[in-house]
Amino acid sequence: MSLHEQLSLSHYVPRLIFLSLGKVPIENLGAYCVSKHGVEAYSNVLRLELGKWGIKVSVVQPSGYNTGMKLYFLLLYHLKKIEMYFGPSYRAL
């Protein structure tokens, strides 16, 4: 089999792959969550529309990985604990 035959597109199934966090609501990050829900909805629609032509649509939901958002959530958690202990007056310090 020639290289051209091996690389022929007829041997491959066309596929669109999207990355998404999934449908997990995250406090204080509404816009981010909306965008990820939008990715899920858009990929579901494309799956229905493009499936009749044999085009596959997949959504990959990677497990957690370390980003700056993790630090943000940790900071929010501790700020809420401080506010519960001292009340809103701690902000005046």
- Long-range pairs of 18-22 with CB within 8 A, sequence gap ≥ 24: 18/42, 18/43, 18/57, 18/58, 18/59, 18/60, 19/59, 19/60, 19/61, 19/62, 20/59, 20/60, 20/61, 21/61, 22/61
For residue 92, give Cα distances in angstroms to 1, 74, 83.
Answer: 76, 22, 12
Looking at every residue in the chain, the average pLDDT score rounds to 77
* Mean pLDDT computed over 51-62: 88
pTM metric for this prediction: 0.56
Measured from the Cβ of residue 21, the count of other Cβ atoms closer than 10 Å reads 18
Residue of 69 and 58 predicted with greater confidence? 58
pLDDT given at position 7: 60
Return the active site residues. 32
Confidence of residue 26 (pLDDT cuts 50, 70, 90): confident
